Every structure is written in structure tokens, then in C-alpha cells.
């Protein structure tokens, strides 16, 4: 067996609820950018499509203070109900150390967003919750800075960290960010942690998301995180990049029967 295959087989697995991430079949995390009032119905439709893990944020880090900031505690109640009705685990964002207990009480995985990748106190408190942490790459962070941020979580004794490449800022204005797919094979050399790809925030445009999903799978990503909404144009947040549920369906289909042999050989 080649060293590359062995290194993939030795990779650590992180469990979100009862879904293993990093153990072979890439997982699909999907849902709207923000939790909205119809989140529970949306979640039920996502389950029927075969989504493994739900996403949806009740607390939204927004560049402008007059943008919708998320439903907050009311959104977390919808997360609880969506989880109960679908039986699926949920990943949702936590933005502040003082909110960790509130969010950790309902979530299966804490998302730490790009803008907070180096919020060191948040990393530590999130780590101490004992829940898995999905750590998004800061949009100007190097691989080493990203891994150092992950080490803050791991220093608490919590090794359940998933790294999420979501695009970096470059000189190119035609995409929201530039998806850096080199992150997947480079991080394979540097860490055992699972690496997933979020093409939605990288592309910023729905039409680009399916091809970038294929590319992420081709480089051996352990999963995809995709924004999807039942009526994308009406999405309260990140409407341009949201796939419709009809557009998400084929992506869920690719992943359900994904050939493990291909995944394991692609490292
Ligand atoms: C998100 O996942 O909704 C989000 C805000 O992503 P990022 O932190 O990558 O911008
Ligand atoms: Mn978003």
C-alpha cells in the first residue's frame, strides 16, 4: 500500500452526531445561510434529498451592521425542532464566547466562521464545550495560521476539529472569493484532521457551485458544505449563492453512492 493511501487510512474521523466525517464517504452539509422562520420545513425537505448534516445559522457575522444579523435565540429554537423532526445533526455558528453554552445546548457541531478564525478566546471556549468544531479558514489566513487556530481548540483536549476551506481573498473580482483547492492536498500532508470544502462562499454565485463541488471531491475533500434554500431569491442572507433544493438534489445523489475506493486513492 502506498504512503498516500496509508496516510488517508490513518486520518482521524470526527463525528457530528452519528455521522462520521473523514472516514471514507464524503458528507454533505447543507441548508440555508441563516435560519429563517420556515427552517423546519426546509430541513425536512433536505433530509428527503439525502443531506447528511443540516446547516443554518441563528447568529450571523455580517460585514454591515444594518444587514440581517440572524434570528438569534428564536432561531436556535427552530434548530432544535428541525433536529428533532429530521433526526439529522446540525452545525450552526457561534460568534461570541458568551454564546457558546446557548449554542452548544442545541447544536451537534459549532461553526466558527472566517471572521472569527483568530478569535482565540472563542476557539478555547468552543473547544471546552467538547462538541466538534467546524473551523472555517479566515479569508486571508495561511495554512499555518489556520492550523495554529485549530491547535487552540485541540489544546483544550478536544480533537474534534474539521477544517473548512471557503475561499480566500485575491485580486479577482468576478468571484466572491477564490476557492483554494490546494488546501485539501496540502493539509493532508500537514494534519490528520478532516478537510471539507464550502464552494458557496468561495464562488458567491449559485451557477458556480456544482462544478466546484465536483472539483472539491476530485481533490479528495471529506465533505461539502453547500448553501441551499427553497426559494433562493427570497433568501434573507447570501441569496446569490444559494442553490434551490432542486439544484442541490443531484449533488446529494453523487455523494450517496460515492465510491470509497476513489476517495481513499485520491489523497
Ligand atoms: C457561513 O457559513 O454562513 C459564513 C458566514 O461563512 P464564512 O464564515 O466562511 O464567511
Ligand atoms: Mn452564508
Q: 72 CB less than 6 Å from ligand 1?
A: no
Distance of CA 133 to the CA centre of its chain: 10
pLDDT tens digits along 160-192: 999 999 999 999 999 999 999 999 999 999 999
User: pLDDT at position 262, please?
Assistant: 52
- Tell me which residue has its CA closest to atom 3 in ligand 1: 33
Cα 126 from Cα 111, distance rounded (Å)? 9
Task: Using the mean position of ligand 2's atoms as its centre, give its distance from the Cα of residue 228 in Å.
Answer: 10
pTM of the model: 0.94
State yes or no: pLDDT of 204 exceeds 70.
Answer: yes
From 64, 110, 111, 226, give the residue whose CB has the most ligand 1 atoms within 8 Å, as the site to mutate. 111
pLDDT tens digits along 113-147: 999 999 999 999 999 999 999 999 999 999 999 99
User: pLDDT at position 49, please?
Assistant: 98
Cα 29 from Cα 40, distance rounded (Å)? 16
Q: 188 CB less than 6 Å from ligand 1?
A: no
**Which of the pair, 7 or 100, is modelled with greater confidence?**
100
Atom of ligand 1 nearest to the CA of 116: 8
The predicted model gives 241-267 an average pLDDT of: 80
User: pLDDT at position 264, please?
Assistant: 45
Question: Which ligand is closest in space to the CA of residue 117?
Answer: 1
Cα 159 from Cα 238, distance rounded (Å)? 31
The predicted model gives 62-83 an average pLDDT of: 97
Residue 256 — very low, low, confident or very high, per pLDDT cuts 50/70/90? Answer: confident
Task: Using the mean position of ligand 2's atoms as its centre, give its distance from the Cα of residue 238 in Å.
Answer: 5
**Which of the pair, 260 or 218, is modelled with greater confidence?**
218
Q: 204 CB less than 6 Å from ligand 1?
A: no
> Do the Cβ atoms of 124 and 94 come closer than 8 Å?
no
State yes or no: pLDDT of 80 exceeds 50.
Answer: yes
Distance of CA 31 to the CA centre of its chain: 10
Mean pLDDT score across all residues of the chain:
94
Amino acid at each position: 500500500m502506498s504512503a498516500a493511501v496509508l496516510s488517508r487510512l490513518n486520518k482521524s474521523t470526527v463525528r457530528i452526531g452519528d455521522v462520521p466525517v473523514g472516514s471514507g464517504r464524503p458528507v454533505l452539509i447543507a441548508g440555508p445561510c441563516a435560519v429563517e422562520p420556515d427552517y423546519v420545513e426546509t430541513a425536512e425537505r433536505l433530509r428527503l434529498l439525502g443531506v447528511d448534516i443540516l446547516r443554518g445559522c441563528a447568529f450571523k457575522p455580517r460585514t454591515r451592521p444594518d444587514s440581517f444579523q440572524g434570528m438569534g435565540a428564536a432561531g436556535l429554537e427552530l434548530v432544535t425542532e428541525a433536529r428533532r423532526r429530521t433526526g439529522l445533526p446540525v452545525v450552526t455558528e457561534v460568534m461570541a464566547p458568551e454564546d457558546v453554552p446557548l449554542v452548544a445546548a442545541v447544536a451537534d457541531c459549532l461553526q466558527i466562521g472566517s471572521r472569527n478564525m483568530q478569535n482565540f478566546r472563542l476557539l478555547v471556549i468552543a473547544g471546552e464545550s467538547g462538541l466538534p468544531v467546524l473551523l472555517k479558514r479566515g479569508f486571508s489566513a495561511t495554512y499555518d495560521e489556520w492550523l495554529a487556530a485549530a491547535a487552540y481548540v485541540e489544546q483544550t483536549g478536544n480533537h474534534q476539529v474539521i477544517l473548512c476551506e471557503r475561499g480566500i481573498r485575491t485580486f479577482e473580482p468576478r468571484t466572491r472569493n477564490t476557492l483554494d483547492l490546494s488546501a485539501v492536498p496540502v493539509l493532508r500532508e500537514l494534519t490528520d484532521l478532516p478537510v471539507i470544502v464550502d464552494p458557496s462562499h468561495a464562488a458567491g454565485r449559485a451557477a458556480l457551485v456544482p462544478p466546484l463541488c465536483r472539483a472539491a471531491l476530485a481533490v479528495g475533500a471529506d465533505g461539502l458544505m453547500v448553501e441551499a434554500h427553497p426559494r433562493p431569491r427570497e433568501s434573507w442572507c447570501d441569496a446569490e449563492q444559494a442553490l434551490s433544493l432542486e439544484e442541490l438534489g443531484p449533488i446529494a445523489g453523487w455523494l450517496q453512492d460515492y465510491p470509497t475506493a476513489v476517495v481513499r486513492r485520491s489523497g
